[in-house]
Amino acid sequence: MQKIKDILKEFSTEYIEDYKKIWIKSKLTTSDSLLSVAKALKEEGLRSLSTVSPTDFPDTDTIEMNYFFEDLQTKRNLWLKCDIPREIEKCEIASLTPLFASANWHEREAFSMFGVRFLNHPDLRPIIASEDFKGKAPFRRDFDWDAHEKDTMIHMKMIVDAFKEEQENNEINLDADSSEMVLNWGPTHPASGPIRLRIHTDGEEIISVDPDIGYVWRALEHLVTKKDFIGAIVAVERLCFMDNINSMVGYSMAVEEIAGTEITPFAKWMRVLLGEVARVSSHVMGLGGFFNNLGLHTLFMWNMDMREFFLDFLESYSGARIATAAIEPGGVRYGLDMTMFDELQKAIEKFDEGIDEVYTIFVQNPTMKMRAKQVGQLSADDIEDFGLSGIVARGSGVKTDIRMDEPYAAYDEVDMEYITQKDGTSYDRFVMLFEELKQSVNIIRQAKKHIEDGVASGAFNPTKDHMVKVPKKLPKGEAISRVEWARGEVLMHLVTQEKSSKPYRLKLRAPSFNHTMMLDHLLKDKTLSDVPLVFGSLYICQGDLDR
């Protein structure tokens, strides 16, 4: 940590301060020195750039850039800020993509949403936002959404025209003598989900892959600024339906930090419990989806059967099976009726009953091994350079897990270990999912026992302890929070204004964004048959890809 501070001291900064346990927060006085700071930081070992988050301040006529650097090995992190001018013509800053490969799409996103131009970016095309938002910076505070929505018909025509133009022209530039062609894998495709991969192929051989994303863009980061602090949870949980609890935990932690609220131990344990149930329900779908992509639907069906029992528990607790809205700033939304644990017990028993069969038939499946061990290999260096997280990072042997790196909720009291695999192939990621599933159920058991013991001894009052009051209006401030989501690291950067009842800005950094960036790297020179396999093994959810 001291070394990072020494590096920063060489440049002109407004402040350098410690933030939380493993973060340093600093602000550069000028954006000109950003590139040289970043270079020095990379040499020091902070090789991953988690995300780039611009915040718009029309009053002071600045856009504040936030960079989050991470070192996955030694767990040192840096939150670096700098101001740039707000006028569209002067709104530019040096691109970090040549140094940090992970910055690529994040800078493109900042370009499309805030109109920040990144100098020397190799490929600064708009991303996520549809054709009608081109050149408009929709996330700036003064963007007039009402006026924009009045011209819906014109905008739809723009989108259609852009598609038609692309359809007509995308193969014109190809060499007429070669057999190269452009194949659309998605957005209406049996295995793709709402994403489109433009695959340049020569017969079965892939030449390059260019993902086109944004088909389920809901502008969640903008949506939360229209709601109050509690209402925002329903936008945050829609990051991805498969694991909605942990995203709400992350958001609630950021709000609590700004409000200065400390939640009760009971609520902390409930967050662990619900979060792991959500993780299980996500992982069983991930396991099934992996085999679906190989054309075998049996595991998915078996796992959906298992998942229903975990959803039963979520339903008995919150009344909803998928979009539970069960976590809110100040704790968890509902008190606990101890009979609800009967449902959970049933789910755990169902899991124990079926998991060995899944292992012998599917995890050890020779045909799957034969295919999956050959493709999708990511080295530990790739993981750090591209800022990957979750099962993808751990599948390549990188020990990173926010639950242990920066414990939140009650994870510091949970007994758990880093689970890793060595080779980083698609197969290793599949095994990771399976092993983490068992780990999650183990944590559920621990949390359940802890809560039961606490209630029995009178330490927890399950009907009253679930919530402490958080003021409706928060002071001016900002906070970041990280959670280990089912797919990897979710970083939330929350900014509030004085006495405001709404979030001023919430940046959601979602793992699938980085993972999708890897597709070209992984699929080059492979065959068409490997596309669904590699895509499935990266455990991508289009919900958090587009947000």
Partner 1 sequence: MDTLIQAFVFPGLLYILLWTVGLFWFFRKFMAKLHKRVGPHYNGPAGTYQTLFDFSKLLTKESITPHGVNPYLFSMMPLLALITAMLPAAFIPWTEDYPVVVTSYGLLALVVLIGIEPFLLFLTGFGSENKYSFLGGIRVLAQSISMETAFLLSALSPALLFGTMNLTEIVEQSTWLSFLILFPGFVVYFIALLGLLEQPPFNIPDAEQEIVYGFYTEYSGTNYFLLKMAAFAEFMAVFGTATTLFLGGHYGIFFDGYIFFFVKMLMVAIVMMTIRAATPRITLKQMLSFSWRYLVPISLLNVAWVMVAKVFFFGSI
Give residues with Cβ within 8 angstroms of 338, minimum separation 6.
Answer: 452, 455, 462
Pairing of strands 180-185, 117-119: unpaired
Is residue 531 a contact point for partner 1 (CB under 8 A)? yes
Is residue 298 a contact point for partner 1 (CB under 8 A)? yes
Is residue 392 a contact point for partner 1 (CB under 8 A)? no
Is residue 181 a contact point for partner 1 (CB under 8 A)? yes
Stretch that binds partner 1, among 298-306, 311-319, 458-466, 513-521 (CB under 8 A): 298-306
Helix, strand, coil percentages, rounded to 5, for the chain: 45, 20, 35
Binding test (CB under 8 A) with partner 1, winner from 27, 136, 148, 189? 189
Binding test (CB under 8 A) with partner 1, winner from 119, 159, 160, 183? 183
Is residue 260 a contact point for partner 1 (CB under 8 A)? no
| Structural tokens at position 95 | 């691109």
Is residue 295 a contact point for partner 1 (CB under 8 A)? yes
CA dist., res. 275 & res. 470, Å (int): 21
* Residue 379, H or E segment: none
Is residue 357 a contact point for partner 1 (CB under 8 A)? no
Is residue 203 a contact point for partner 1 (CB under 8 A)? yes
Is residue 329 a contact point for partner 1 (CB under 8 A)? no
Is residue 351 a contact point for partner 1 (CB under 8 A)? no
Nearest to 531 by CA among 41, 172, 201: 201
| Structural tokens at position 286 | 């991930």
Binding test (CB under 8 A) with partner 1, winner from 365, 377, 442, 497? 365
CA dist., res. 155 & res. 136, Å (int): 13
Is residue 297 a contact point for partner 1 (CB under 8 A)? yes
265-292 and 426-457 are packed helices; what angle lies between their axes, rounded to 10 degrees?
Answer: 150
Nearer to partner 1, 193 or 488 (CB): 193
Amino acid at 287: L
Alpha-helical (H) ranges within 458-524 are 511-517, 519-523
User: Exposed e or buried b for every residue in 79-97, given b needs 16+ CB within 10 A?
Assistant: bbbbbbebeeeebbbbbbb
Binding test (CB under 8 A) with partner 1, winner from 16, 88, 162, 191? 191
Binding test (CB under 8 A) with partner 1, winner from 276, 405, 530, 546? 530
Sheet with 488-496: strands ordered across:
477-485, 488-496, 505-509
Nearer to partner 1, 36 or 179 (CB): 179
Is residue 428 a contact point for partner 1 (CB under 8 A)? no
What torsion, rounded to 10 degrees, do the Cα atoms 368, 373, 376, 378 define? Answer: 140
Stretch that binds partner 1, among 271-279, 285-293, 319-327, 410-418 (CB under 8 A): 285-293
Is residue 510 a contact point for partner 1 (CB under 8 A)? no
Is residue 542 a contact point for partner 1 (CB under 8 A)? no
Is residue 285 a contact point for partner 1 (CB under 8 A)? no
Binding test (CB under 8 A) with partner 1, winner from 1, 16, 158, 296? 296
Stretch that binds partner 1, among 3-11, 125-133, 239-247, 290-298 (CB under 8 A): 290-298
34-44 and 2-9 are packed helices; what angle lies between their axes, rounded to 10 degrees?
Answer: 150
Is residue 380 a contact point for partner 1 (CB under 8 A)? no
CA dist., res. 276 & res. 327, Å (int): 13
Is residue 353 a contact point for partner 1 (CB under 8 A)? no
Is residue 371 a contact point for partner 1 (CB under 8 A)? yes
Give residues with Cβ within 8 angstroms of 369, minimum separation 6.
Answer: 427
Is residue 368 a contact point for partner 1 (CB under 8 A)? yes
- Residue numbers at the binding site for partner 1 (CB under 8 A): 181, 183, 189-191, 203-204, 291-298, 301-302, 305, 361, 365, 367-368, 370-371, 527-532
